Chain A
Amino acid sequence: MKLKTILMSTAAAGVMLGSASVAVNSASHGMEPCEGCANSMTVVSWGGAYQNSQVKAYSEPYAEATSTEFVWDESSNEAVAKLRAMNEAGNVTWDLVDVEGPDAVRLCDEGLAMEINVDEVLAPAPDGSPASKDFGDSLVSSCFIPQIVFSTTFGYRTDVAAWNGAVPSSLCDIFDLEKFPGKRALEKRPKKNIEWALICDGVAKADLYKVMETDEGIDRALAKLGTIKDQVIWWSAGADTPQLLADGEIVMGSTYNGRLFSVIEEQKQPVAMLWDYQVFDFDGWIIPAGLPEDRLNRVKHFLKFGTDTQRLADQAKYISYGPARASSAPLVGKHAELGIDMAPHMPTDPNNMGNIIVNNIEWWSSYADDVDAKFQAWLAK
């Protein structure tokens, strides 16, 4: 499986970081001038530490070299809805939108994102191999320009007195209220929660989606979630869990691994990661369909720079997500401010990959409406 190769090579990169970090600093921009290009770009992302890493690794160096003005919009959560509205109006104000793989598939299907020839738009790997080969399986849709591999996983507080020194070591400890009492945070939508619940209810990983296709399967998952329901705070933004963990409002919770990294390593909170059954996903850019010529030129010019091997590797200096290019992996180095090795913090580190699930975009695109209706009805009561 190609995905596995990317993941493994990213991980392997961690081993030989030290020397690579020199290359990061000495990277020269060497950009072609942008002709017939707009002077500003509206870029949509998720806010928080993640957006910050994009600003540091992509847009700041680019703005410095080209004096392009960047406007950031933290609307990735509602990207599909807003793009649909803009499209109806025939007035698309966004130039580049950061979305997760499933949203990219949907946007592409609805004709709201532009299809692109990655080999033409994106830079080849330093060894000359074309972008399509370098990105490999992360190209989940013909509109999608991947940036990172991220995972959704759990963080827990390390100073909970009621646990008598025990720490969660497996996913199913989330459901163990006796050994690990306290509030938990889970995402306010069924995806991932259903999978986790079924695994802890004894379903084999291989049978997961077959079980989920039946009403009984969903009921079973909800029943399992029901065992901890009154101890759960349901989050809707990726920053909620880190904040709740830091405030001591919860003892464990799911969120994106990069957010946990910043709460653990940057804010030095007494929190640790639980990598068991982390769910892998891709995140990347899409270009909205129907951009005027000058803005499209600017976006393409930016993308050629902003998704090259070096830039994707640079992003890992600010947040612990794995670059989507195989060729970026050997360049991943130390954290920009903390100076710690990023390797052990990557979701793709071999030590963190004991059990993993790769998000099943295909399945969820068909069943999300139905399962969501059931989940929300269950949640409201």
Chain B
Amino acid sequence: MSDLPPYASTGQRIWHYTFRYVICGLIFFFLIFPILIIIPLSFNAEDFFTFTKAMLNLQPEGYSLKHYNDFLTNPDWQQALRNSFLIAPAATFLATAFGTLAAIGLSQSHVPFRRAIMAVLISPMIVPLIISAAGMYFFYSRIGLQGTYWGVVLAHAALGTPFVIITVTATLVGFDRSLTRAAANLGANPVTTFFKVQMPLIVPGVVSGALFAFITSFDEVVVVLFLGSAAQKTLPWQMFTGLREQISPTILAVATIMVAISIVLLTVLEMLRRRSERLRGLAPT
């Protein structure tokens, strides 16, 4: 189906090309255009959210790095950046450590109440964020975690674990159990078996799970808005208040930087996925 057979009629040809290049092209445009449009706008020399005449005429004076400069020098943005990089890795570590162990546990053949446990563990991904945020706000207030660094880290870790479980479980699905049995037969103890046999195979899953957990925390705004205080202000928080209150094109500069980060993460993830499939012999190399 990938290409038209030579006997295709004119109608079929027209439809084929319309579908492929016009309809799908437009949808891809819809997907990508909003993300790309902010990049040139972030170099706007004016404080506007739209293209100025000078920009459209490609005059150099229409463009400037001033919004990037503002991002790099404004203490509010710098504090937000620092907080994001303090919170996300801690949350990622917790989510990945707990999540990986649990995924290995869940992949064993005889787990009592497997379904119920899975439902509980996946729930942070399913429950709408506003409800999680409301519940956490009320509960963390009671136990003194509201407005603290650890409160935000724990909440973000909880939101990130389902992704770790899902990705690690996925790498374990194709896992051949006879490999561990063979290792045991050859005299390896369970710990050695884990590190020598299982670990290398699930590493891609763990890493991509960790990336998901990282981006979950790094992008998260609803929970941090409720649970955090000024000292935990993250990048998304700053962007949200910026969009709602002081609309400045600095947001577009930050957005551009975040798109760049997404591209890096996506590339790493894609490489990991290929490696994992190759290791498990699932994909043609």
Asked whether A86 lies within 8 Å of B49 as measured between CB atoms, the reply is no
A244: nearest residue on chain B (CB-CB)? B247
Number of A residues near B (Cβ < 8 Å) is 25
Q: State whether the Cβ of A232 lies closer than 8 Å to any Cβ in chain B.
A: no
Q: State whether the Cβ of A72 lies closer than 8 Å to any Cβ in chain B.
A: yes
Q: State whether the Cβ of A117 lies closer than 8 Å to any Cβ in chain B.
A: no
Asked whether A86 lies within 8 Å of B245 as measured between CB atoms, the reply is no
Asked whether B231 lies within 8 Å of A71 as measured between CB atoms, the reply is yes
Interface residues of B in 100-151 (CB under 8 A from A): 137, 140-148
Asked whether A47 lies within 8 Å of B246 as measured between CB atoms, the reply is yes
Q: State whether the Cβ of B53 lies closer than 8 Å to any Cβ in chain A.
A: no
Which residues of chain A are near B244, meaning CB under 8 Å? 236-237
Asked whether B147 lies within 8 Å of A86 as measured between CB atoms, the reply is yes
Interface residues of B in 220-244 (CB under 8 A from A): 229-231, 233, 241, 244
- Interface readout for A209-239 with B: 1 if CB under 8 Å, 0 if not? 0000000000000000000000000001111
Asked whether A47 lies within 8 Å of B241 as measured between CB atoms, the reply is yes
Expressed in whole angstroms, the minimum distance between the Cβ of B252 and any Cβ of chain A is: 15
Asked whether B147 lies within 8 Å of A93 as measured between CB atoms, the reply is yes
Q: State whether the Cβ of A126 lies closer than 8 Å to any Cβ in chain B.
A: no
Asked whether A86 lies within 8 Å of B141 as measured between CB atoms, the reply is yes
Our count of residue pairs bridging A and B at CB distance below 8 angstroms stands at: 65
- Interface readout for A27-58 with B: 1 if CB under 8 Å, 0 if not? 00000000000000010100110000000000
Expressed in whole angstroms, the minimum distance between the Cβ of A113 and any Cβ of chain B is: 17
Q: B49, B143, B229, B246: which contacts A48 (Cβ < 8 A)?
A: B246
- Interface readout for B143-179 with A: 1 if CB under 8 Å, 0 if not? 1111110000000000000000000000000000000
Asked whether B230 lies within 8 Å of A90 as measured between CB atoms, the reply is no
A89/B229 contact (C-beta < 8 A), A47-B246, A48-B245, A239-B246 known: no
Asked whether A73 lies within 8 Å of B144 as measured between CB atoms, the reply is no
Q: State whether the Cβ of A374 lies closer than 8 Å to any Cβ in chain B.
A: no
Main SS class of interface, A = mixed
Asked whether A89 lies within 8 Å of B241 as measured between CB atoms, the reply is no
Q: B231, B246, B247: which contacts A93 (Cβ < 8 A)?
A: B231
Interface residues of A in 238-253 (CB under 8 A from B): 238-240, 243, 247
Asked whether B230 lies within 8 Å of A91 as measured between CB atoms, the reply is no
Interface residues of A in 72-125 (CB under 8 A from B): 72-75, 82, 85-86, 88-91, 93-94
Expressed in whole angstroms, the minimum distance between the Cβ of A53 and any Cβ of chain B is: 14
Asked whether A89 lies within 8 Å of B142 as measured between CB atoms, the reply is yes
Which residues of chain B are near A48, meaning CB under 8 Å? 245-246
Q: How far is the CA of A176 from the CA of B27 in the complex (A)?
A: 43
Asked whether A91 lies within 8 Å of B147 as measured between CB atoms, the reply is yes
Q: How far is the CA of A73 from the CA of B230 in the complex (A)?
A: 5
Which residues of chain A are near B49, meaning CB under 8 Å? 247
Asked whether A89 lies within 8 Å of B147 as measured between CB atoms, the reply is yes
Expressed in whole angstroms, the minimum distance between the Cβ of B107 and any Cβ of chain A is: 39
Q: How far is the CA of A89 from the CA of B230 in the complex (A)?
A: 17
Q: How far is the CA of A85 from the CA of B141 in the complex (A)?
A: 5
Expressed in whole angstroms, the minimum distance between the Cβ of A188 and any Cβ of chain B is: 12
Q: How far is the CA of A247 from the CA of B160 in the complex (A)?
A: 39
Q: How far is the CA of A192 from the CA of B3 in the complex (A)?
A: 66
Among B229, B241, B247, the one with the most A-chain Cβ atoms within 10 Å of its Cβ is B229
Q: B144, B245, B247: which contacts A74 (Cβ < 8 A)?
A: B245
Interface residues of B in 44-62 (CB under 8 A from A): 48-49
Expressed in whole angstroms, the minimum distance between the Cβ of B47 and any Cβ of chain A is: 8
Q: How far is the CA of A243 from the CA of B249 in the complex (A)?
A: 12
Expressed in whole angstroms, the minimum distance between the Cβ of B250 and any Cβ of chain A is: 14
Asked whether B146 lies within 8 Å of A42 as measured between CB atoms, the reply is no
Asked whether B247 lies within 8 Å of A91 as measured between CB atoms, the reply is no
Which residues of chain A are near B241, meaning CB under 8 Å? 47, 74
Expressed in whole angstroms, the minimum distance between the Cβ of A45 and any Cβ of chain B is: 10
Among B137, B231, B233, B247, the one with the most A-chain Cβ atoms within 10 Å of its Cβ is B247
Asked whether B245 lies within 8 Å of A239 as measured between CB atoms, the reply is yes
Expressed in whole angstroms, the minimum distance between the Cβ of B277 and any Cβ of chain A is: 47
A237: nearest residue on chain B (CB-CB)? B245
Which residues of chain B are near A47, meaning CB under 8 Å? 241, 245-246
Q: How far is the CA of A44 from the CA of B233 in the complex (A)?
A: 13
Q: How far is the CA of A238 from the CA of B241 in the complex (A)?
A: 12
Which residues of chain A are near B48, meaning CB under 8 Å? 247
Asked whether A239 lies within 8 Å of B141 as measured between CB atoms, the reply is no
Asked whether B231 lies within 8 Å of A89 as measured between CB atoms, the reply is no
Which residues of chain A are near B141, meaning CB under 8 Å? 85-86, 88-89
Asked whether B144 lies within 8 Å of A91 as measured between CB atoms, the reply is yes
B148: nearest residue on chain A (CB-CB)? A91
A87: nearest residue on chain B (CB-CB)? B141
A73: nearest residue on chain B (CB-CB)? B230
Q: How far is the CA of A243 from the CA of B47 in the complex (A)?
A: 11
Expressed in whole angstroms, the minimum distance between the Cβ of A259 and any Cβ of chain B is: 10
Expressed in whole angstroms, the minimum distance between the Cβ of B276 and any Cβ of chain A is: 43
Q: How far is the CA of A91 from the CA of B140 in the complex (A)?
A: 11
Asked whether B230 lies within 8 Å of A86 as measured between CB atoms, the reply is no
Which residues of chain B are near A247, meaning CB under 8 Å? 48-49
Q: B144, B145, B230, B247: which contacts A42 (Cβ < 8 A)?
A: B230
Would you mind naming 24 contact pairs between A and B with Cβ atoms under 8 Å apart?
A42-B230, A48-B246, A71-B231, A72-B76, A72-B230, A73-B229, A73-B230, A75-B229, A85-B137, A85-B141, A85-B147, A86-B146, A88-B141, A88-B146, A89-B145, A89-B147, A90-B144, A91-B146, A91-B147, A91-B148, A94-B229, A238-B245, A239-B246, A243-B247
Residues of A near any B CB (own CB < 8 A): 42, 44, 47-48, 71-75, 82, 85-86, 88-91, 93-94, 236-240, 243, 247
Minimum-distance CB pairs A-B, first 10: A73-B230, A85-B141, A89-B144, A88-B141, A237-B245, A93-B229, A89-B141, A93-B147, A239-B245, A91-B144
Since A71-B231, A239-B247 are in contact, a sample of 7 more A-B pairs with Cβ atoms closer than 8 Å, ordered by chain A residue number, is A48-B245, A73-B233, A85-B146, A89-B140, A93-B147, A237-B245, A247-B48
